[in-house]
Structure 1
Amino acid sequence: MKNIQVNANQIALVLKNKAFKRLLGEGSYWLWGNEEVFIYEKGNAFAAPIELNMLLQHAEIIEALDVVEVKDNEMMVQFEDNRFKTVFGPGKYAFWRSIKNYTYTAIDLNKIEITEDFSPQLITTKLLPYVRSYTVEAYEKGVLIVDGKFVRVLDGGTYYWWKNTISIQVAKADMRQLQLEISGQEILTKDKANLRLNAFVQYRITDIVKAMYENKDYEKQVYVLLQLVLREYIGGLTLDELLDKKDSIVDFVLKNTADKLVGLGIEIKGCGIRDIILPGDMKEIMNQVLMAEKKAQANIIMRREETASMRSLLNTAKLMEENETLWKLKEMEYVEKIADKINTISVSGNGQILDQLKQIFVKN
């Protein structure tokens, strides 16, 4: 015989010839030599020394154990006194009952939504390896697609779903006003002038389902649509008309794209042309035309000024002809101008010089 001691919060399983004999609680016991004893802590998992189902044939064992069976499409969360303990995958598990309260929550992995009453802290810490998360920024919206099917629109926030074999996709889009550059477009005008165009368009998404789910690569579609509208507008104008009507392109683009962009879930806000780039030879020709125009304008202005000057001289001459005093004043004005340029005057001659000066300046 042999003596065993079972302490408080322990339980002993006695087998005889690999068959259940009895359970022992706290105390001291004498056992025969052909009896095996296995001592366990209450509240811990039970690692059965023989087939568990054989032991569960006995009411005494059923009464002492909590048996948890997890299906293939499930996982089980164990709580100890309402605190998270552990997670089990598919299988059969047994725990010795104790003074602690153990509860279990089964999770069906055939779904993705977390419908169980778990706190966000528990999901983001203990259960994080078993969930997948997606974050949608405050300025974004998302489209939830499950197994290729649209489910719902996601506003800004962080979302958690159970991790399983179900396919989940979240297509996100920026809901702020966006700008698309249309650069380096080579286009022929109506008069066959080849030019390059740099333009831009401002838009925003109004229907994320149409933009992200019902259409593929909505931004490329916006680009191509604007490209075609620009070609239509420029192809219908000569180069001179285009340069004169450059600002009217906004109205044309808005009018011809608004309805088409509705199908993409997009609203156009504005557009414009940054640059119109002419080829090198075309630039030279345009510069020559501009220079010729400016020269012609300069010649017209010069002729106009010369005509005005001659008319002024003619009027002055008529006045001087009619008024001798005015003639003398004009004569003195010119003498004064000549005198301003003379520093010294040297006079030489015979004694008759005063008589000669008198004859010049004094009227008879």
Structure 2
Amino acid sequence: MKRVNIATNQVGFVIKNNMVQRVLTVGKYWLGFGEKLELHDMGKQFQSVYDIDVLLQTAGFADTVHVVEVPDAHICLVFVNANFVKVLAAGRYIFWKSLSNYRFMMQDISTIAISPAVERNLLERAELAGFVRQYKLEPAERGLLFVDGVFKEVLEAGIYTWWKNAINIAVSKIDIRVLSIDINGQEMLTKDKAQVRVNFFVRYQVVDIMRALLENKEHERQLYTLMQLLLRSYIGQWTLDEIMEKKDDINRFIGAEAAVQAARLGLEIHFCGMKDLILPGDVRDIMNQVLVAEKRAQANIITRREETASTRSLLNTAKLMEDNSMLFKLKEMEYVEKISEKISTISLSGNGQVIDQLKQLFSKS
């Protein structure tokens, strides 16, 4: 006989003939002949060389452990004293019922939905990285969720998490901000067969996500092609001279037509306009020559107009002076004043008075 003592947070296996006969918890006990004691610390991980199923049949053992059975397509979150410590995959697990408080949260991962009971911060832990998939939509983005190829719902901006399993998840996202397209270097023929190159600009926004992503493929590329066709349609129905005169009308025409067509793509046109209308080199030179000739003709007309006005003014002045001697005298004095301004020195001689000499100088001969 042998007396043994089992301390707090210890468990003793009574072994006889290499088999566990019974399980002892805290207290003092006597061991019989041929029996020996195997002590286990309940504060440490459970380890035993004996078969678990046999141990569970041993008296007292089931009362000292937590037996956690995790089925296939499930995981178990383990908390010790309210703190998350690990994740258990499918299988059987044994934990000592020590002084620590254990809590086990079973989760079915055969579906993609994560239970609200699993806190968001836990999904960010490294221990769960292999079981969780995450997708983020920026504030200016929206998305369509497809599960196994089937559309499920429209996703707003935010962070989404799903269980990682055999179910296929795809998210098609789109930017809902106002975007722009440059349609550059479009070579087109006018009605009179003149070749021009057009640079065009379009600002648009996605307003119907279902149409843009679900009902149409590559909506941006379709919009680009649509603008090309509208430009060609408009340019082709006017001559080069008419296009030069109607440049402002292009924006209104294209904008109105594009708005109707873009709505079928789930888009809204905010603004569109022609940036450049580039002419071939020879046509540009001819137009420059025409412009120079027009400006010269305008300058000649203005010159002739001014000359005619000046002559008419002189004629009117002459008629007035002819009928009014006083006006003639005033005009004469005006010219004398202008002449005097150009004379720097006047020399006077003789015995006459200065005023008389000046009168003689400027009097009629």
Q: What is the number of residues matched between the two proteins?
A: 355
State the shift of 1:78 in Å: 1.7
State the shift of 1:18 in Å: 4.2
State the shift of 1:61 in Å: 3.3
Q: For 1:53-68, list aligned pairs within 5 A.
A: 53-58=53-58, 60-68=60-68
Q: Deviations over 1:63-100 (max 9, x none)?
A: 43322122231111122344323211121112233454
Match of 1:231 in 2: 232
Distance 2:33 2:237 in 1: 110
State the shift of 1:227 in Å: 2.1
Closer/same/farther in 2, CA of residues 46 and 328 from structure 1, 3 Å limit: closer
State the shift of 1:159 in Å: 2.1
Conserved 8 A contact 1:145-1:151? yes
Q: For 1:130-141, list aligned pairs within 5 A.
A: 130-141=131-142
Conserved 8 A contact 2:262-2:268? yes
Distance 2:320 2:98 in 1: 135
State the shift of 1:175 in Å: 2.2
Conserved 8 A contact 2:146-2:170? yes
Deviates more, 1:314-323 or 1:136-145: 314-323
Match of 1:40 in 2: 40
Deviates more, 1:242-251 or 1:284-293: 242-251
Distance 1:43 1:264 in 2: 65
Closer/same/farther in 2, CA of residues 86 and 347 from structure 1, 3 Å limit: closer
Distance 2:256 2:324 in 1: 74
State the shift of 1:117 in Å: 0.7
Partner SS, residue 314 of structure 1: helix
Conserved 8 A contact 1:43-1:95? no
Q: Deviations over 1:183-222 (max 9, x none)?
A: 2322222223322222221221112232234333322222
Distance 1:31 1:290 in 2: 124
TM-score (norm 1): 0.83
Conserved 8 A contact 1:75-1:88? yes
Q: Deviations over 1:81-133 (max 9, x none)?
A: 44323211121112233454433222212112211412223333365523222
Distance 1:222 1:331 in 2: 80
Q: For 1:272-287, list aligned pairs within 5 A.
A: 272-287=273-288
Asked if 1:104 corresponds to 2:125, the answer is no
Distance 1:257 1:346 in 2: 88
| Partner amino acid, structure 2, of 1:53 | D
Deviates more, 1:322-331 or 1:259-268: 322-331
State the shift of 1:261 in Å: 1.8
Distance 2:298 2:307 in 1: 14
Q: Deviations over 1:295-341 (max 9, x none)?
A: 11111222222222333333344445555665555555445444443
Match of 2:295 in 1: 294
Distance 1:17 1:217 in 2: 77
Match of 2:114 in 1: 114
Asked if 1:186 corresponds to 2:187, the answer is yes
Conserved 8 A contact 1:198-1:273? yes
TM-score (norm 2): 0.83
State the shift of 1:294 in Å: 0.7
Match of 2:248 in 1: 247
Conserved 8 A contact 1:3-1:31? no
| Partner amino acid, structure 1, of 2:110 | N
Conserved 8 A contact 1:18-1:50? no
Match of 1:311 in 2: 312
Distance 1:116 1:327 in 2: 110
Distance 1:230 1:2 in 2: 104
Closer/same/farther in 2, CA of residues 362 and 253 from structure 1, 3 Å limit: closer
CA RMSD of aligned residues (A): 3.2
Q: Deviations over 1:261-307 (max 9, x none)?
A: 22322111111122222233332222111101111111122222222
- Percent identity at matched positions? 48
Conserved 8 A contact 1:45-1:93? no
Match of 2:267 in 1: 266
Partner SS, residue 61 of structure 2: helix
Distance 1:102 1:174 in 2: 47
Partner SS, residue 237 of structure 1: coil
Match of 2:211 in 1: 210
Distance 2:101 2:281 in 1: 88
Match of 1:169 in 2: 170
Conserved 8 A contact 1:187-1:195? yes
Closer/same/farther in 2, CA of residues 174 and 313 from structure 1, 3 Å limit: same
Conserved 8 A contact 2:145-2:171? yes
Distance 1:162 1:54 in 2: 36
Conserved 8 A contact 2:22-2:59? no
| Partner amino acid, structure 2, of 1:125 | R
| Partner amino acid, structure 2, of 1:121 | N
Match of 2:6 in 1: 6
Distance 1:103 1:347 in 2: 133
Match of 1:154 in 2: 155
